[in-house]
Structure 1
C-alpha cells in the first residue's frame, strides 16, 4: 500500500499528502523557471508578475514598495525587477490619479497573453480535475491549501508573518 493509500488518514497518509504538495510545488517552480528563461526573465520576475496579477484581480494598488514586500526584496532589488519588466514590455508604471506622488504598477496585456499561452494548458488541466470534485471536496482542498500556504509562509526562517485574514 502506498503512503497515500492508507485508509485511516494516519501519519503515513498525511506524509504522503505533504510529499505530493511538495511535488506540485517543485514542478510548478520548474515550469515558472522554464517560462522565465523562454521569455528572457529572471524567475523572480515571474513571481513579480504573479503578485501584480493577483493585486489587479483583488483591486489592490500595487506600488514598488508593496511589490518588494510581497517578494521579500529590498528597494534596489525591487527596482531592478520592475525596471526589467518595464523594459521587456510586461509592466507599466503610471502615476496614481488620486495621489500623484505614488507610482502604480500594472501588468501589460502582452504579458498576460504570454502567461496564458504557456500556463493555459496547465490551468485547464487543473480546472478539469477540480470540476470532477463536489463542493465538499473542493472546500476541503481549499482549506488544506490555505492552511498549508499559511504554515509555509509563517515557518521559522521565512522572514514573513502570516497574512491577515
Structure 2
C-alpha cells in the first residue's frame, strides 16, 4: 500500500502543478489536458481532431468547440482543414504553447530525467511496465464507471 499511497501523492502534486500552470496562463485545467492530448497524439504520429479530443477528454462536441475557440484565441492551438477530408479539422499546438509549457515544465522534466538516470536499463523497464500497468488499470476503471 505504500507504493499506492506514494503514487496517489504524486498524482495530487502533479495535479496541483498543472492547476498552477493553468491559472498562471489564464487557462482552464481542461485546456492543459487538451494541450497534452494534442501533443501526445502528434508524438504518436496520429491526427489530432476535435472528435478525438472530445473522446479523450470525455466532453461533448459543444464543449470541444468552446474549448478550441478559447485555446485558438489564446494562441495555443491552430485548426486547419484536413486536406483529405475538408469536413474534418486537424489540431496542432502552436510554438507559443510549446514555449510556455517548456518554460514551466522543463525544469521538472529535466529533474525527472536526472532521477531516471539513476536507474539501470532493467530498472527503467520495470518502472515503465509499472506505469503502463497502472495507466491501463485507471483507464479500465474510468470505462467501468461510465466516464
TM range (shorter): over 0.9
Residue equivalent to 1:31: 17
Question: For each residue in 1:55-98, what CA deviation from the matched residue of structure 2 results, as whole angstroms up to 9, or x when unmatched?
Answer: 11111111101100000001111111111110100000001112
- Structure 1-normalised TM-score? 0.86
Number of aligned pairs? 145
Q: Which runs of 5+ in 2 are unaligned?
A: none
Q: Name the SS of the counterpart of 1:95 in structure 2.
A: strand
Q: CA deviation at 1:21?
A: 0.8
- Alignment root-mean-square deviation, CA: 0.9
Q: Give yes or no for the alignment of 1:144 onto 2:99.
A: no
**Shift in Å at residue 158 of structure 1?**
5.4
2:142 equivalent to 1:157: no
Give every structure 1 segment of 4 or more consecutive aligned residues whose post-TM-superposition deviation is greater than 6 Å.
none
Larger Rg: 1
Quote the offset at 1:100 in angstroms.
1.6
Q: Does 1:43 align with 2:29?
A: yes
User: Which one has more relative contact order, counting CA pairs under 8 Å at least 6 apart?
Assistant: 2
Runs (5+) with no aligned partner, structure 1: 1-14, 160-165
| SS of alignment partner, residue 154 of structure 1 | helix
Alignment partner of 2:47: what SS?
coil
CA distance, structure 2, for counterparts of residue 132 and residue 158 of structure 1? 40
Alignment partner, residue 60 of structure 1: 46
What does 1:1-165 correspond to in 2, within 5 Å?
Answer: 15-155=1-141, 156-157=144-145, 159=147
Q: Normalized against structure 2, the TM-score is what?
A: 0.96
State the alpha-carbon separation in 2 of the partners of residues 24 and 67 from structure 1. Answer: 25
Which structure features the higher share of helix residues?
Answer: 2
